[in-house]
Structure 1
């Protein structure tokens, strides 16, 4: 693990501590897994990855921990129309590009579109809290599979 990941994990643990949330070994493991995961895992993915380390942990425990981490603002729940939510450690602001074939989600870094929020407020009179942008397409792997079919 890189130094920056250790630093991010320590910051996240400090945030938990400051929020008065108990830092259980399971909670620590869920947070660490999310921080190192590039796949935007589902709760099930997290459960499967950690069940060897925590044989007594249930899927419900994972969901409960994710809920707590989300409420504190450390984790973002991504719901993109498919059946199960995916989870993302909320580090720097970023957008997501989603494969329409396999559902893979990849981080896409771009300066946040704050001017869109300002414009939306001016035009509608709304008090805008946030925005979300998704980009859809077909990932490399799915493109290659399609090419092989032809």
Structure 2
């Protein structure tokens, strides 16, 4: 694994939230000033394709990236756009029963208002 890829993976593994490619680039640049934006994009794409990390696509927002791990879905705040993980273990099983076929994957984003934005309202 290249030093650049190790750094990008380290950034995602230690992130406390989902990061855009621009945010990963900014954080990588702090540790490795010579890293290029294209290098970050290429590595994010390669690691996504390899299943090492996940790309989270939400309409109207930049794609975000997160470390790999257990399957989960996402909550997206309609006010601030913050993404949070939600685990619905019964959903995949229910989908398999309903669809009656092998499900290779799905993406679910539930829109809501996060507790911080609710407090500010």
**Cα pair 1:93 1:112 within 8 Å, conserved:** no
CA drift of 1:112 comes to 4.7
Listed one character per residue, the Cα deviations across residues 6-29 of structure 1 (whole Å, up to 9, x for unaligned) are: xxxxxxxxxxxxxxxxx1111001
- CA positional deviation for 1:110: 3.1
Which residue in the other structure is 2:117 paired with? 142
CA separation in 1, counterparts of 2:42 and 2:90? 30
Which protein is richer in strand relative to its size?
A: 2
Tell me the TM-score normalized by structure 1. Answer: 0.73
**Within the alignment, does 1:76 sit opposite 2:54 as a pair?**
yes
Distance 1:128 1:111, change over 3 A: closer
Give RMSD over aligned pairs.
Answer: 1.6
DSSP-derived class of the 1:98 partner: strand
Alpha-carbon deviations, 1:40-70, whole Å to 9, x = none?
1000011111212111112211110101101
Rounded to whole Å, the distance in 2 between the matches of 1:71 and 1:25 is 19
Count of aligned positions = 121
1:1-150 equivalent positions in 2, closer than 5 A = 23-122=1-100, 127-146=102-121
Q: Which has the larger radius of gyration?
A: 1
Residues 121, 110 of structure 1: alpha-carbon distance in 2 compared, 3 angstrom cutoff: closer
Taking structure 1 as reference, are residues 136 and 77 closer, same or farther at Cα in structure 2, changes over 3 Å only?
A: same
Higher relative contact order, chain-length normalized (CA < 8 Å, sep 6+): 2
d(CA) in 1 for partners of 2:63 and 2:96? 29
Runs of 4+ with deviation above 3 angstroms: none
- Once residues 137 and 121 of structure 1 are traced to their aligned partners in structure 2, the CA distance between those partners, rounded to angstroms, is 27
Classify the secondary structure of the residue corresponding to 1:135.
strand
Deviations 1:60-108 (A, max 9, x none): 1111010110111011111100241001111111121111111111112
In 1, Cα distance between the equivalents of 2:90 and 2:65?
Answer: 20
TM-superposed CA distance for 1:132, in Å, is 2.2
